[in-house]
Amino acid sequence: MATLCLVILFAFIALAGGFACGVWWYGAGAAPVAAPNRQVDPQQVPPEPVVEAERTAEWAVMAFQRIQDVASALTGDAGSHTSKVDAITAELQSIATGQSDVSSDAVLHALHQIADASAALKQRLSMAEKQLESQASELHSFETEARTDSLTGLANRRAFDDEMKRQYEIWQRQNIPFTLLIFDIDKFKSFNDSHGHQAGDEVLRNVGKLLVHTARQMDLPCRYGGEEFAVVLPATDIREARVAAERFRKAIENASISFGGEQLKVTSSIGVAQISDADDPAHLIRRADEALYRSKEAGRNCAYWHDGHHCLPVTADVAEPQAAPVQKTLHETVQSFERLPSKKSFLDILQRRIAESQRFGIPLTVVQLKIDNYPAIKREYGKTFARELLDSVAQRAQLTLRQMDLLARYDDGEFLIMLVRCSKHEALDVAERLQAAIAEGYNPTGVARLPLSTHFGIAQLDSKETAEAMMSRAADSLESTVTKEYSLANSSPTAE
């Protein structure tokens, strides 16, 4: 029991140290949190980050002292319990060796003492556990507040920076694109001067709500600072982002905000940029900013996107360099089979897409594609040849699919494809084009052309369906297709 107490004690001490470091990071090392729409005299009021850091430091000291109190009390309880157990043990040993009178009452009394001491310690441990849970809950609440803008309830700049870093790492590892939208409320300073800062605050709160309502479940709307907002769009290419930017712009333009008996209206300018090989998060933000300023120069209440060199209106029907280039060759496609998203990544992205599709009524289809006789090809030609064949098929598939679609590796000889805004009938056409492209065969240097055939299964999203269920139906469809063709082949008469 004493050992148990010491283990728990060390756990408390470790938690306290980690807790203090975490609070220090969230406080003294914190990025500035976007402030409400206020104008104050900088000579009279310290900068908000400084005030926030001082409050955080004070709160951290108090919280750490509470944990120290729990640890100190537990240390005393453990020491007292150990002393009691040692004394009772010595008494029992003296009885066992005949140094004291042997008495059943004495033994029972000693056992009762041990039971009472253990019960008391158990009660104290239970109380300490509850205190620890309370501190953990308080820490979680503080962490949430540290990542949330107090005025709008949106994610703040720190949360935005973290999400940009996370999406950039996904882009580097899995080549899954993401896009950034940056918003600015048009002529917001003039609006403040005309209607007052309280009205300005109400506008900012309502714009925040509009962003949350208009965004997909997987998107992250943020308050970027002042009257600026941002939305991070994971697994989204520039074509989809341009559509989204117009959807956000129209939602803000059409909104009517009630305040002080008036119906207030505002508009926004938007800049859009998709991640590219030449970007890091900071450079992507600069490109989106350039597009934002181009929107303002164009008269505001519009959106522009940055193609890597120029800023173009999102509503213009222009050629998109980030879409599939004309006359693209296999050698320009750098994504091999191994670099494709895994089944787990595909499942995560599919689940987010399902939420979007169910919310906006957008069709979504999954295709499972299987190379026929792949295990036999692998045995006959070797693993290296088989893997190069998979790379070739992956490249052909990428040339056939749209950029908004998602190709993933499922298993040796099998692929998963997510077709956005595609019905089952449209997905059938895509799958047949894929079959035709792959049927051209594989012809590496020094090896005769190897003809290839494939089978596929298709599942279109049903209402309230999960990603796992959708993929399971695609697999069942594939199995049914293979089984049906096998049965037909075996039942067909042999030509003489």
The runs of H, that is alpha helices, within 215-324 are 238-254, 281-297
CA–CA dist 434, 148 (Å, integer): 46
Please tell me the number of Cα atoms within 13 Å of 32 on its side-chain side.
10
Question: Strand, helix or coil at 369?
Answer: strand
Find how far residue 263's CA is from the centre of its chain.
37
Q: What is the dihedral of CA 220, 224, 226, 228, to 10 degrees?
A: -70
Q: With a cut of 70, which residues of the chain have pLDDT below it?
A: 1-81, 84-85, 88, 91-111, 117, 121, 128-146, 317-335, 360, 403, 443-448, 484-496
Predicted local confidence at residue 4, as pLDDT: 45
User: Kindly report the CA angle at 40 between 34 and 45, in degrees rounded to 5?
Assistant: 90
The neighbour count for residue 113, using CB atoms within 10 Å, is: 15
Q: Which residues pair with 220 in a beta bridge?
A: 232
User: Kindly report the CA angle at 466 between 465 and 472, in degrees rounded to 5?
Assistant: 95
CA–CA dist 5, 331 (Å, integer): 64
Question: Strand, helix or coil at 95?
Answer: helix
Q: What is the dihedral of CA 256, 259, 260, 265, to 10 degrees?
A: -40
Which tokens sit at 444?
């590496």
Count, residues in the chain: 496
Predicted local confidence at residue 245, as pLDDT: 95
Which tokens sit at 314?
């999102």
Asked if residue 343 lies in contact with residue 397, where contact means CB atoms within 8 angstroms, the answer is: no
Question: Strand, helix or coil at 299?
Answer: coil
Cβ-based neighbours of 476, under 8 Å, separated by 6 or more: 457
The neighbour count for residue 465, using CB atoms within 10 Å, is: 17
Find how far residue 20's CA is from the centre of its chain.
27
Phi and psi angles of residue 473, each rounded to the nearest 5 degrees, phi first? -65, -35
Helix (H) or strand (E) holding 21: helix 2-27
CA–CA dist 358, 482 (Å, integer): 31
Torsion sign, CA atoms 107, 110, 116, 117: negative
Dmax of the chain from CA atoms?
A: 108
Asked if residue 367 lies in contact with residue 425, where contact means CB atoms within 8 angstroms, the answer is: no
- Could you tell me whether strands 311-313 and 406-411 are parallel, antiparallel, or unpaired per DSSP bridges? unpaired
Predicted local confidence at residue 281, as pLDDT: 94
Cβ-based neighbours of 118, under 8 Å, separated by 6 or more: 1, 81
How far CA 400 is from CA of 323, 339, 429, 456, 460, in Å, comes to 12, 18, 11, 15, 20
DSSP string, 129-189: HHHHHHHHHHHHHHHHHHTB-TTT-SB-HHHHHHHHHHHHHHHHHH----EEEEEEETTHH
CA–CA dist 152, 323 (Å, integer): 35
Which tokens sit at 22?
């975490």
Torsion sign, CA atoms 350, 352, 358, 363: negative
User: Kindly report the CA angle at 436 between 435 and 440, in degrees rounded to 5?
Assistant: 110
- From the list 311, 203, 301, the residue with the least C-alpha distance to 250 is 301
Asked if residue 177 lies in contact with residue 242, where contact means CB atoms within 8 angstroms, the answer is: no
CA–CA dist 491, 484 (Å, integer): 11
Predicted local confidence at residue 315, as pLDDT: 87
- What is the per-residue pLDDT across 359-411, written as a single tens digit (0 to 9) for each? 767 889 999 999 998 998 888 888 888 888 888 888 888 877 876 788 898 88
Question: Strand, helix or coil at 366?
Answer: strand
User: Kindly report the CA angle at 231 between 470 and 296, in degrees rounded to 5?
Assistant: 140
Asked if residue 266 lies in contact with residue 192, where contact means CB atoms within 8 angstroms, the answer is: no
The neighbour count for residue 392, using CB atoms within 10 Å, is: 21
Predicted local confidence at residue 115, as pLDDT: 72
Predicted local confidence at residue 23, as pLDDT: 45
Model-wide pTM > 0.85: no
The neighbour count for residue 450, using CB atoms within 10 Å, is: 15
